[in-house]
Amino acid sequence: MTPTQNSTLTARAASYAPSRDRLARTVADLCALGEKVSGTPEEQQACDYLTAQLRAMGVSYKVHRFDSYISYPTATTLTLLVPEARDIPAVGVAFTRDTGAAGIEADIVWAGAGGPEQYADLDARGKIALIDKLPTYGLCEAARKAGAAALVGMSSGPQRHKMTCSPIWGAPASKAEVDAMPAIAGASINRPDGEWLRQLAQRGGARGRLVARVDTRWREVLLPVAEIPGTEPEFLLMGAHYCTWFDGATDNIGAVAILLELARLFQGRATPPRHGIRLAWWPGHTHGRYAGSAWYADEFWHELNDRAIAYFNVDINGSRRAYNKALRNQTGEAAAYTAAVMRDVLGEIDPDQAASMQACLRRPERYVHHTRPHRASDQSFWGVGLSGLQVSSFLQKDDPDRLPNSGLARWWHAEEDTVENCDPDVLLEDARLHAQLVHGLVDAAVLPLDLLGIAGDVDDALREYAEAAPELRLLDEIAAAVQRFRGAAQRFHAAGARLDPADTAATAAWNRRLLRAIHGVNPAVYLLGSPFQQDRATGSRLLPGFKPLLDWQALSTDERRMLRVALRREVNRLVHALDEARRVIET
């Protein structure tokens, strides 16, 4: 589908009229600054641009300054020495080891997909391991444990992707977390060069030099936050990272432009929204592994827990030919609302493209819906308990520029992510859709968040665990707690539907009970650890504390005994959260 052929904007959505020219101008202006690394002069220039725009609109804002642990590659060269001399263009990997100016000279070995099993019969000690995937923390660790001195990954095409490999979410809180950063050098090359180099490595005798300079240190970063007050104290938190690799037109300057345009649209209304809007431009997204949003969650935890309606992440928007709108990172209670707005604004989604997007957003669980949050994309607010939502623009499945098994364009994290690859018409439609989603939340008399979605998610996650250990009756306690919670939620939402929208006192009281229930139960659904800590940036699943159950059948008797102890605690935690949320809505 294309924006002009398949967009059926309703009159209500059309009442918010984003400016195509303003969106395009913001993208062009910020892309002209080049790569915007957190803690650099380019970040300061981008921050100054945003705040100047906000001042011109009359929007109140504050710039937070704080220290964060930032990493970015400053220079990367890969040179083949044997069997011939050749320079291979490469880009660096944040949070990998700096080689120094002399670099690493070593044999190059082919490690296939780069997992631990690929090194079982491969002597990679002191060598440069070449793999057919992009560098990630897990692949860096597999190479390091095999004794490799460096890891070189390859893309799916002619582009070269800058990547990050820290397992720590946000800034490190201890020396142990700093020490967890990959102790191995890294680089990324394109597929044609990678395939050529693979053939040489497989024949044996290939030798090269990798110079990978990486600047990793504490830096002061800037986080501008704008505020549009509502008539109630609650607010919707929105965020888009404004740091970029290269120019970053579609990751993430298009989203930055959408946030600015939403500030203009909602600030310019004749009457304020019922609930406020807080718009944040995050630093340290990739350069700091979500450092900006993690810092904000830490610093404003109590205010967010008390007053925030939801977190709306804005990321990957406006890409050329990105006509598919993908719901992502949405918690269960927001799912019905976002789907309804999508139908309202865009019409029915083509089933073939919907199936394609589902494949792109695949999750590790067997039954959990593919749009549920992943441990990425500034999802720093699970401990606070906030509902989440996001809509990204993906390329269609047959687009030649689409990355394999992804909706992303090949210019993601690459030098080609320039203003020419951001389509103002696609970005305009994205802005309209975001405006409608915001409107439906901040102007709602009764918030459109459905507790039954949480109950359904717990059921879906629990089903796979129960199938892995059908004899374990401990899980029956959770099923019973879910049923109690579901019954209370049905009665609560039925009462909400009977409220008079004009009765602000009654609807406000209902909304606050809803938010207390959501914020109380979501940490138990999404987090492995404490609500006041951040889980690692290494993948996630719903009810993560139950993951060891998937190996139940392979465990020894003593291992099962120990796991029962751990599971007893996880069951207590989840049942308590469900019952406490139920008591809130039954009050």
What digits encode the pLDDT tens for the residues 84-141? Answer: 999 999 999 999 999 999 999 999 999 999 999 999 999 999 999 999 999 999 999 9
What whole-number distance in Å separates Cα of residue 35 and Cα of residue 32? 9
What percentage of the chain exceeds 70 in pLDDT?
97
Which H/E stretch holds residue 356? helix 351-360
pTM of the model: 0.96
Topology of domain 72-217 in CATH is: Glucose Oxidase; domain 1 (3.50.30)
As a whole number of Å, the CA-based R_g of the chain is 24
Q: How confident is the model at residue 355 (pLDDT cuts 50, 70, 90)?
A: confident
The string of pLDDT tens digits covering residues 160-197 is: 999 999 999 999 999 999 999 999 999 999 999 999 99
Q: What is the pLDDT of residue 240?
A: 98
Amino acid at 514: L
Q: How far apart, in Å, are the Cα atoms of 6 and each of 9, 342, 534?
A: 9, 12, 41
Mean pLDDT of 316-332: 96
What whole-number distance in Å separates Cα of residue 546 and Cα of residue 544? 5
Number of neighbours of residue 63 by Cβ within 10 angstroms: 14
pLDDT surpassing 60 at residue 14: no
Number of neighbours of residue 117 by Cβ within 10 angstroms: 11
CATH number of 451-586: 1.20.930.40
| Mean pLDDT over the full length of the chain | 95
pLDDT surpassing 70 at residue 4: no
Q: How confident is the model at residue 357 (pLDDT cuts 50, 70, 90)?
A: confident
Q: What is the pLDDT of residue 15?
A: 64
Q: At what angle do helices 20-31 and 41-57 cross, to 10 degrees?
A: 160
The domain spans of the chain are 20-70+219-348+389-442, 72-217, 451-586
DSSP string, 197-219: HHHHHHHS--EEEEEEEEEEEEE
pLDDT surpassing 70 at residue 571: yes
pLDDT surpassing 80 at residue 39: yes
What whole-number distance in Å separates Cα of residue 28 and Cα of residue 257? 10
Q: Strand, helix or coil at 310?
A: strand
Topology of domain 20-70+219-348+389-442 in CATH is: Aminopeptidase (3.40.630)
Q: What is the pLDDT of residue 2?
A: 33
Residue with tokens 């009359």: 58
